[in-house]
Amino acid sequence: MIVDLPNTTTNEISKRLVEARGESGAVALGRVLTLILVTDESSADDAIGTANDASREHPSRVLVIVRGSTEGDSRLDAQIRVGGDAGAAEVIVLRLFGELAEHGSALVTPLLLPDAPVVVWWAGEPPADPRAERIATMASRLIVDTGKAADPTAALQQLSRVAAPGITDLAWSRITRWRALLAAALDQPPYEEVTSITVSGAQDTPSVELMAAWLSHALDCPVTWERTAPGTGMVGVKLTRASGDVSIVREDGTVATMTQPGQPVRRVALHRRTDVECLTEELRRLEEDELFADVLTKGMPRLNGVSA
């Protein structure tokens, strides 16, 4: 069920939400968090669809702030989605115009679920410092996506300068499976020191740089970055040890070849993760991500001057 409320107020939105919930048969019970989604008009539909799909594992109230033009009169246009049109969530879309476009945090406050954690997700261009945004003061987790920035490399470098345990990046979530495979390989004998690391991937994919920073920080050894063609994403990792290399190579974006000394070559399912998978993963963990903060603040500086 979809209810459009042009030129409205938060009081009217709250009232109509209760009515729409009753008419559609939806209930508010079981909502585990409030997800505040900040986006622009061009990417709003895709971002809302991602939040809807993620809500099937994390039933939530999704408050979507769509920033419109700051020129002209202040106006709030809203849309309420409940039932089948909102997945397992109830979605309230707030389109802000005029002076209101700069005051999204004040408008969402009356619509937060009581006694439930709040997560803010910037689905497009990440802010220069997520913690400095007024809307961040009400949230326990702040999620950005440097992969969606106009300049992903610059966005990741900027994020490393303002890193804090409560901030995470979907570019980090995209390499979770890679990190798990590498950690499992090193957890098997022979327990030898890794002497060098080679990471292969595109420079326009911040996940590649995060992989290099994580390995350099965790294993305390030099990293070589073999840059591949733009758009190829994360391609491969090679860890060099005395007994032989541990390597994972994914050339088609779907299946990887994994080699380890003394073991047969394996083919491993390793598809490129969707935004839904990454957001769902981040919503499972509402505590601070200290490892990611360490990768940004301690691992990233180690990559200065990394060879290619």
User: Which value, in Å, is the radius of gyration of the alpha carbons in the chain?
Assistant: 22
Dihedral of CA 125/131/132/133: which sign?
positive
Please name the residue that has the structure tokens 């005051």: 103
CATH topology identical between 2-169 and 176-303: no
In the predicted model, what is the mean pLDDT of residues 233-255? Answer: 95
298: tokens are 């301690």
pLDDT band at 20 (very low <50, low <70, confident <90, very high): confident
Where do the structural domains in the chain lie, given as residue ranges?
A: 2-169, 176-303
pLDDT band at 300 (very low <50, low <70, confident <90, very high): very high
Instruction: Classify domain 176-303 by CATH architecture.
Output: 2-Layer Sandwich (3.30)
| Angstrom distances, CA of residue 280 to CA of 53, 84, 199 | 8, 19, 27
Give the chain's mean pLDDT: 92
- Does position 304 have pLDDT exceeding 80, yes or no? no
Domain over 2-169 is classified CATH 3.40.50: yes
Whether the Cβ atoms of residue 270 and residue 254 lie closer than 8 Å to each other: yes
In the predicted model, what is the mean pLDDT of residues 27-35? Answer: 76
Give the global pTM: 0.93
In the predicted model, what is the mean pLDDT of residues 42-70? Answer: 91
Beta-sheet pairing, 75-81 with 2-5:
antiparallel
Percent of the chain with pLDDT over 70: 95
